Amino acid sequence: MVNPLGKLFGGSIFGFLHKGSSVLGIDIGSSSIKVVQLRKERGAAVLETYGELSLGPYAGIEIGRAVNLDAEKLAEALLDVLKEANITTKNCGISIPFAASLISLIKMPMLNEAQLKKMIPIEARKYIPVPITEVALDWFILPEEGRRFLSSEAEAEGEVEEAKFRKVDVLLVAIHNETLAKYNAVVARGNLVASFFEIEIFSTIRSTIVQNTTPIMVIDMGAATTKLYIVEYGIVRSSHIVNKGAQDITLALSRMLGVSVAKAEEIKRESGITGKSGDQNISTAALLTLEYIFSESKRVMLQYQERYRRNISSILFVGGGALLKGLLPHAQTKFETDVRLGLPFSRTQSPAFLEQVLLETGPSFSVAVGIALRKLEEMS
């Protein structure tokens, strides 16, 4: 549980004064729930409180590991973290895991809005591998600048004129009804008022990417998986899931050192890549997993660069796995591109004494902060 702000701002004084104007961002990850409460003050997003709670123990396993909990258990954990973090509002938005969604970029004839509304669900059948009745569909037309840059894809396909003048690019998003039902059940049990569900990468983009006229690769290192996205003009252009994540480092370490998984998790968080004790096993366990994730990332990068003839200008690490000490310098030696950590709290105002801890834990909260920022926009 991380909650240094809870004691200061989550109590009755601030809770009372700002009741109604505070908003809550909730990120239910596979290994932990993160919550962030913000309020708007003179146009700025002010951080009121935040917190994180590991889900492993709710399924009888160690912290740091991915679990698949039902709505009842998730709601129980959510209520626990809301309480521990001194969250004072019920007005929230919630993220949806990328894995529960389908995102496609499709081309449509340049029709009017009403016509598109009719045609898109029909067209979507081609791209969505499950019956259209089993998903909730959302879509939006890419802004002009996005369209312009996308025309180079069309150029590659030899249809410049057509793409520029007669077609629009539409981002199609589908979420399984089952997922929505589960999240609605969590919201109801948690006694919350959720006005939207948002696929996690959109939240991360909002909180961590400011300037995006050149492609950026986002590497979200979760517990069981790592999600890779290429984002350009704020739009997800390519996405992949790698079946390795931060928990694989822990599991390898546990095997190598012959210690419990819980102990290995502790050692990993304490020592980072190099290992404070200089133990070679620690580096080996971390580097083996990272090697795999990085080589997949490079493959995806190269594929994108070759296809669209644009270089990835920067790599952004987010997720709890990005907190691994020494990750950034190591990644710098492995990629020939600018490498950074996501800094979602830089979009919020917070007390100076928290600066360091927010810098360090920021990557974990990219999704939750992004959700809270959207909710703030919605309230104003």
Ligand X SMILES: Nc1ncnc2c1ncn2[C@@H]1O[C@H](COP(=O)(O)OP(=O)(O)OP(=O)(O)O)[C@@H](O)[C@H]1O
Q: CA of 285: how far to CAs of 156, 330, 335, in Å?
A: 42, 14, 20
Residue type, 300: V
Closer residue to ligand X (CB): 51 or 320: 320
Task: Give which of Mg ion, ligand X, none residue 51 binds (C-beta under 5 to 8 Å, depending on kind).
Answer: none
Tokens of 81: 């973290």
CB 15 within 8 A of CB 88: yes
How many Cα atoms are found within 13 Å in the side-chain-facing hemisphere of 277? 9
Q: How far is the CB of 245 from ligand X (least distance, A)?
A: 6
Q: Rule CB under 6 A: which residues touch ligand X?
A: 29-32, 64, 97, 222-223, 225, 245-247, 250, 265, 268-269, 319-321, 323-324, 364
Looking at beta carbons, which residue is closest to Mg ion? 29
Q: What is the nearest approach in angstroms of Mg ion to the Cβ of residue 27?
A: 6
In the complex, minimum distance from the CB of residue 347 to ligand X, in angstroms, rounded to a whole number: 18
Query: 32 contacts which partner out of Mg ion, ligand X, none, CB within 5 to 8 A by kind?
Result: ligand X
Question: Whose Cβ is closer to ligand X: residue 6's or residue 222's?
Answer: 222
Q: Which secondary-structure segment (H or E) carries 306?
A: helix 280-308
Which residue, 270 or 355, has its beta carbon nearer to ligand X? Answer: 270
Supply 157's token pair: 């396909």
268 or 330: whose CB is closer to ligand X? 268
- From ligand X, Mg ion, none, interface partner of 250 (C-beta below 5 to 8 A by class): ligand X
Q: Would you say 265 and 63 are in contact if contact means Cβ atoms under 8 Å apart? A: yes
Residues of this chain that bind Mg ion (CB under 5 A): 29, 222
* Per-position DSSP letters for 145-205, written without gaps between them: HHHHHHHHHHHHTT-HHHHHHHEEEEEEEEEEHHHHHHHHHHHHHTT-EEEEEEEHHHHHH
**What's the min distance (Å) between Cβ of 162 and Mg ion?**
39
From the list Mg ion, ligand X, none, pick the one residue 25 interacts with, judged by a Cβ distance below 5 to 8 Å according to partner type. Answer: none
Nearer to Mg ion, 29 or 275 (CB): 29
In the list Mg ion, ligand X, none, the entry touching 323 (Cβ below 5 to 8 angstroms by class) is: ligand X
Nearest distance, CB of residue 30 and Mg ion, angstroms: 7
127: Cβ contacts below 8 Å, ≥ 6 apart: 102, 104, 106, 172
Please choose which of ligand X, Mg ion, none residue 324 contacts, taking the beta carbon within 5 to 8 angstroms, the exact cut-off set by kind: ligand X
* Cα 105 from Cα 161, distance rounded (Å): 19
Shortest CB 7 distance to ligand X, Å: 22
Report helix, strand or coil for 21.
Answer: coil
Given the complex with ligand X, which of 39 and 268 has the nearer CB atom? 268
In whole angstroms, give the CA distance from residue 94 to residue 27. 6
Partner from ligand X, Mg ion, none binding residue 88, C-beta < 5-8 Å depending on class: none
Q: Is 245 helix (H, G, I), strand (E, B) or coil?
A: coil
- State the minimum distance, in angstroms, from the CB of residue 357 to ligand X: 12
CB nearer to ligand X: pick between 6 and 245: 245
